[in-house]
Every structure is written in C-alpha cells, then in structure tokens.
A = this chain, B = another copy of it.
Amino acid sequence: MDVIPAEILRIHSHLTKEIAEMSPTGDGILFKTEEYAGRLAKLKSEMERREMDTLLISEPSNICYLTGYEAYSFYVFQIMIVHRDVSEPIWIGRSMDAVSVRRMTYLSDDSIRPYTDDYVQSSEKDPVDFVVAELKEICPTLKAIGVETGSFYYTARIHNRLLESLPANRFLDAELLINWMRIRKSAAEVAILREAGQISNAIIADAVEAVQAGIRECDLTSVIYRRMIAGTPEYGGVYPSSAPYVLTGSRTGEPHAPWSDRTIDHDTPVNIETSGCRRRYHAPISRTVYLGSPPESYLRLADAVTEGIEAALEAVRPGVTCGEVAQIWGKTIARHGFHKDSRIGYSIGIGFPPTWGERTASLRESDRTMLEPGMAFHMMPGLWLDDIGIVLTQSFVVNEFGREDLTTFPRQLVIK
C-alpha cells in the first residue's frame, strides 16, 4: 500500500460515503449475499463428493461467480482458494487490487491476502510461493487440491511450481467444475442478462443506422463501441470479453479478423458480431447488413440461414439436447444445399477476456447436454465461406415453456 499523509485521507474521506449509496446493479456487490452463499455451499458439497478439500480457482469468471469480484486484475497472478473447512473463499492477488476486492465483494479482510508488488512479473520472486505459504497457514490439513488445469490463467509454470512445492499432496483436475455449475442461471442472473440484451439491441440499431459506403471500418466500429459502453439510459455498459468483429467485403469470409482502416464499399455485406455486457454478463448478437442489392445467390444463402435458425430456435425446450437442436439446423440448411462444419452456439453468462463463452455446452451434433430452464446460449449459426459470409444469431435463456429471447432485434438479413 502506498503511504499518504493523513491530511489527504481526511480531506477525501467524504468521498467514501458514495459507496453506501450505490444501486445494486450500478456498482458495489451485484447479488445478495445469500446468492453467493448458496453457490459456495453447492461448490463445497461437490468438492466433498470428489474428495477434494481445497480448490484453487484461476478462471476470473469463476472467481466472479463465487464472490462478485470484477476488477481487471487477472493479467497478473491472481488465484482464489476455497477450502471446505474455511467459511469464505480467500483471494490472493496484487496488493494494489485488494481495495477493489474489499469494495466489490462480501469477503472479510482476513480473506483478502495480497502479495507485494515485487512479485509482479519478476524473475526473482514467484507469487506461487506466496500461495503455498498461505495454503500451509490456512489449511494445515491440506490433502487433495483441485486445480483448473485448462483455465487461460492457470499456466504450466504455475502448476509445475505448485507440484514441486507441495510434493506430499494429491492434485485433482477441477477443470470446468465451476463452469458447469454456472450453466443454469438464477432469476437474478437472468435479470442481468436481459439488461445486457437491451444493450445489444441498441448496439445493432446504432450500427445499422451508421453503416454506409464511404466510411472506414474503424469508424463504424467506433459507433458500435460507443453504444456498447454508454449502454442505455437505464443500463450502462462495460467492456465485453471479446472485441467485436466487424468485417466487410471479401473479408466477411473471416470470422475473427480485426477491422481495418479500409473504406466500406458499395454492394457489400458487412458482418457485425458483438455483445452488450452488463456486470460481466453477456448477451451476444450478430447481424449482417448488406449495402445495396444483394445478388440472388446471396439472398438464397440468407434464406437458408434464416430458415435454419428459426427451425433450431423452435426446437429449444427443456429435455431436448444441444445435439438435437444442432441437428435440426443441419437438416434445414442441407435442404438448401449448404453444410456447416462448426458448432452453432455455446453457453453464455459471465465472461472475462479473452472470451464470453462459458466453455461448457456447445450446440453441436455430438453434444448430449440436455437443455434445462435457466441455461443461456448464443445460437451463432453464421456461415463463413472462403470469401463471403453471413451472420445472424440469437441469445436466449431456456425457460419452462421453451425459451426467452435476450435480444429482440429482428432476425433477418438487413438490407440498406
């Protein structure tokens, strides 16, 4: 912690009152403490079933799920410890970020264990050694430790150092354990997803209004970003976990290329894929805007995609599997002479860079996950071909009757 003269602290202490006055969705802790307590209890019970006494959580979205923590502090070493005999999760991260943990979560001070800054990207000090020391203090009976082996932020180096430092312990793979717990959203989570969906609607509306031949791709993208972050008058936005994709002309055949300075042409498709984000919850949306009169063959491509997505959405209801939904899409576009090798969607919810997908269920033919109320997906049946593409997607939550769409922008090729 930096040192500051007491007089400055005094002068600015009036600012701290703001915290108490925040709206629950505008700032501060997102959900009620009971919601977090329920999630933690469920996790501990699953840990018991797996004979895992301790779990080390690296994935920022899983840390957020358990505590509400949302700060951008995962680009340096950060980990959360859940031990079955310790009531609260324990956050370990960089010292300057401890203040954010205190403000954004229900964790008590004893559960916030920051390391000093000389551990950051240092060749001399390893923050894993700090974690090991804390683990030995917090959980002297440490036996079986779960780790998220496939998390973006759990590197080979971290794992090797833990194994070396704790040779007497058993390590269990807890990869996707919490991700799978996250797949069914609570009513409070669905409410936030709806807010994200309203932002997504507004983004696409602004983009459709702004797009025209003669402006640069980056200018169109700047309009998208402006609305993504400003959100609506009711719901401000935050950065989504992935940059938007904005591709025009022949580059609509590329799903994940960055936009450029190129001027948008006449008579071209413009593919837009993005997401409103609200308190780290995402409701992605993609649309193609065709500038000019699409050739007949492109309209047939659009018809196939539209018919395919409508048929697949129609099939969504509890008890149906992800694979069955994907099959209906595949059969529908096959009637039009098309075929798509890639999955047509994935589970959505909390996301941190680099992705807003939950990395669990996919809408693909081999996926046997059965749909249940509260599951949320981005159905993303874009067709990207060698030098052309079309995107038309729908985010939804499964409910007891079928589904609730998170965005309401019309599902069709936009022609302008």
Within 8 A of B (CB), among A312-358: 337-343, 346, 352-355, 357
Which listed residue, B217, B357, B386, touches A9 by the CB 8 Å rule? B386
Q: Interface centre among A251, A352, A360, by most B CB within 10 Å?
A: A251
B residues near A9, Cβ cutoff 8 Å: 385-388
Does A12 belong to the interface (CB within 8 Å)?
yes
B residues near A189, Cβ cutoff 8 Å: none
Compute how far the CA of A257 lies from the CA of B245 in the bound complex, rounded to whole angstroms: 25
Whether B155 lies near A12 (C-beta < 8 A) is no
B residues near A338, Cβ cutoff 8 Å: 2-4
Whether A340 lies near B2 (C-beta < 8 A) is yes
Does A298 belong to the interface (CB within 8 Å)?
yes
Least CB distance, A161 to chain B, in whole angstroms:
10
Which listed residue, B19, B158, B216, B231, touches A250 by the CB 8 Å rule? B19
Compute how far the CA of A154 lies from the CA of B160 in the bound complex, rounded to whole angstroms: 12
Q: A117-B343, A160-B149 are in contact. Are A97 and B255 (CB under 8 A)?
A: yes
Within 8 A of B (CB), among A283-320: 295, 297-298, 301
Q: A252-288 CB contact bits vs B (8 Å, 1 = yes)?
A: 0111111111100100100000000000000000000
Q: Which A residues form the contact surface with B (CB < 8 A)?
A: 1-5, 7-9, 11-13, 15-16, 18-19, 22-23, 25-27, 70-75, 95-97, 99-100, 103-104, 116-118, 120-122, 124, 147, 149-160, 173, 175, 216-219, 221-223, 225-231, 235-239, 242-243, 245, 249-251, 253-262, 265, 268, 295, 297-298, 301, 337-343, 346, 352-355, 357, 359-360, 362, 364, 366, 383-388
